[in-house]
Homo-oligomer: A and B are copies of this chain.
């Protein structure tokens, strides 16, 4: 999980994922739009691989990458915990409307 979020924390890698979402491509193709060397891009791909977000198949001298979306899905699911926060806020708001007692838990 940490590795997934870490992988997402870099614009270059997010770009790669976006690219891969519309079809598999090679390391070179992933590197091409970037302003860095191929070696650097290759390292980014490795980070994505380590996070389980990308799978690589070696086809001749080309390394073809494809998106592995499951970790993205579970990261997204994890992220949704904050909805609980919203629901709770709404509940509190409702309480305020329903009963006009002074709000509890105001410890200033």
Contacts and interface: CB of A to CB of B under 8 A. Distances in A.
Interface in A45-88: 59, 67, 69, 72-73, 75-76, 78-82, 84-86, 88
A2 B5 CA distance: 10
B18 A9 contact: no
B10 A2 contact: yes
Contacts of A84: 21-22
B69 A80 contact: no
Those 6 A-B pairs whose CB atoms lie nearest each other, nearest first? A5-B9, A6-B9, A21-B85, A5-B8, A76-B79, A69-B82
Contacts of A80: 76
Contacts of A81: 17-18, 21
